[in-house]
A and B are shown apart, each in its own frame.
Chain A
Amino acid sequence: MENFTPLTAAIGGALIGLSATLLWIFNGRTAGVSTISGAIFPFHRGDIWWRLAFLIGLPLGAAFGFAYGPTVFAEIPARLPTVGIGPVALVAAGLLVGIGTRLGGGCTSGHGVCGIARLSRRSFVAVGTFMATAIVTVFVARHVL
Chain B
Amino acid sequence: MRNSPFAIAMALVAGIVFGVGLAISQMIDPEKVKNFLDLAAIPSGGWDPSLAFVMAAGSAVAFVGLRFNRFMRKPVAAPAFQVNTKTRIDRRLVIGSAIFGVGWGISGFCPGPAIANLGVVPDAVAIFVAAMLAGSWLTGAIVEWSNRSSLEPSQAVAK
User: Is the interface on chain A under 10, 10 to 19, 20 to 34, or 35 or more residues?
Assistant: 35 or more
How near does chain A come to B108, taking the closest CB pair, in angstroms?
A: 7
Q: Please tell me if the beta carbons of A53 and B100 are within 8 angstroms of each other in the complex.
A: no
Return chain B residues, CB-CB under 8 Å to A31.
14, 18
Which of A3, A18, A104, A125 makes the CB contact (< 8 A) with B99?
A104
Q: How far is the CA of A46 from the CA of B39 in the complex (A)?
A: 45
Return chain A residues, CB-CB under 8 Å to B60.
14, 17, 117
Q: Is A134 an interface residue (CB 8 A)?
A: yes
Q: Is A83 an interface residue (CB 8 A)?
A: yes
The number of residue pairs between A and B whose CB atoms lie closer than 8 Å in the complex comes to 520
How near does chain A come to B84, taking the closest CB pair, in angstroms?
A: 6
Q: Per DSSP, are chain B's interface residues mostly helix, strand or loop, or mixed?
A: helix
Return chain B residues, CB-CB under 8 Å to A9.
25-26, 50-51, 53-54, 57
Q: Please tell me if the beta carbons of A82 and B29 are within 8 angstroms of each other in the complex.
A: yes
Which of A34, A50, A76, A94 makes the CB contact (< 8 A) with B26?
A76
Q: Is A25 an interface residue (CB 8 A)?
A: yes
Q: Please tell me if the beta carbons of A58 and B84 are within 8 angstroms of each other in the complex.
A: no
Q: Please tell me if the beta carbons of B15 and A108 are within 8 angstroms of each other in the complex.
A: no
Q: A34-B111, A62-B117 are in contact. Are A1 and B55 (CB under 8 A)?
A: no
Q: How far is the CA of A31 from the CA of B87 in the complex (A)?
A: 18
How near does chain A come to B39, taking the closest CB pair, in angstroms?
A: 6
Q: Please tell me if the beta carbons of A108 and B110 are within 8 angstroms of each other in the complex.
A: yes
Q: Please tell me if the beta carbons of B57 and A19 are within 8 angstroms of each other in the complex.
A: no
18 A-B pairs, CB-CB below 8 angstroms? A13-B61, A16-B21, A20-B62, A26-B78, A38-B140, A46-B3, A57-B13, A60-B119, A61-B19, A61-B21, A63-B23, A65-B20, A103-B96, A118-B66, A121-B89, A129-B101, A133-B101, A133-B102
Chain A contacts to B: CB under 8 angstroms: 1-6, 8-31, 33-34, 37-38, 41-42, 46-51, 53-66, 69, 73, 76, 80-85, 87, 89-105, 107-109, 111-114, 116-118, 120-122, 125-127, 129-139, 141-143
Supplied contacts A11-B57, A61-B20, A102-B139, 8 more A-B pairs, CB within 8 Å: A12-B57, A16-B54, A20-B66, A65-B20, A84-B108, A93-B106, A104-B92, A109-B18
Task: List 7 tightest A-B contacts by C-beta distance, closest first.
Answer: A57-B15, A61-B19, A12-B25, A98-B135, A17-B61, A21-B65, A103-B96
